[in-house]
Structure 1
Amino acid sequence: MHPAPEAAQGVPPLPAAFTHAEVLPWLAQAQRAVAQAPAHACVVVQAAGVQSFDSAALAALLALRRVVLARGLAWRIEGLPDKVRTLARAYGVDGLLPG
């Protein structure tokens, strides 16, 4: 039996404006948090505060997904707005964003 995942600390919540200008700083912080997460952690991204976004937001989430999975960690996104999920569905990547 595997140990229950622990929630990773320090993953920044998604900013209210999550567009091209905000993606790189957020992603850098999130990647550092994932790198420091303990084994068996579950990376939790809080997304409820997102008010404006563009396709760069999806690219950032998918980039974080690659880092999380490469470390063998679990992850989930909490509170992702329906409009972001709709955009993900339009791009055919909604199944890659757990939540």
Structure 2
Amino acid sequence: MPLPAVLTQHEARSALAQLLQALALPGRQPAGQTLVLDGQALQRFDSTALAVLLECRREALQRGHSLRVQALPEGLWKLAGLYGVQGLLDPHHA
């Protein structure tokens, strides 16, 4: 599922609601699915984007799934490294 083009503190609440709604759809499937968030469209962000991604991960884990985030912009990936959460967003890339 794609991330929005803009994910700052101003868009966080609505973006999180949309992403969590999309994450709820696999709840009908057996546990163990890897849900993928695609950051290719993400152009403008702040550290709030990491909080949104981590909340999506928490929700996926609660539903018995794993979460992987792909194609994050380099700046957000570096910010995730600074906060020490790269491995939570993509354990294969950290």
TM-score interval, smaller chain: 0.7 to 0.9
Q: What corresponds to 1:46 in structure 2?
A: 38
**Higher Cα Rg: structure 1 or 2?**
1
Shift of 1:84: 0.6
Moved over 3 A (4+): none
CA drift of 1:59 comes to: 0.3
Q: Deviations over 1:32-60 (max 9, x none)?
A: 12222122432111101111110100000
Residue correspondence of structure 1 range 10-89 to structure 2 within 5 A: 11=1, 13-37=2-26, 38-39=29-30, 40-89=32-81
The percent identity for this pair of structures is 42
Alpha-carbon distance between aligned partners in 2 of 1:73 and 1:97, rounded to the nearest angstrom:
13
* TM value normalised by structure 1: 0.80
Within 2, Cα distance between the matches of 1:31 and 1:17? 17
Query: TM-score, normalized by length of structure 2?
Result: 0.84
5+ unaligned residues in a row in structure 1: which ranges?
A: 1-10
Secondary structure at the residue paired with 2:42? coil
Aligned-partner residue type, residue 67 of structure 2: W
Question: In structure 1, what residue type is equivalent to 2:88?
Answer: L
The Cα offsets for residues 44-95 of structure 1, whole Å up to 9 and x where unpaired, read as 1110111111010000000000000111112211211111110011111111
Aligned length: 88
Q: How large is the RMSD of aligned CA atoms in angstroms?
A: 1.4
SS in 1 for 2:11: helix
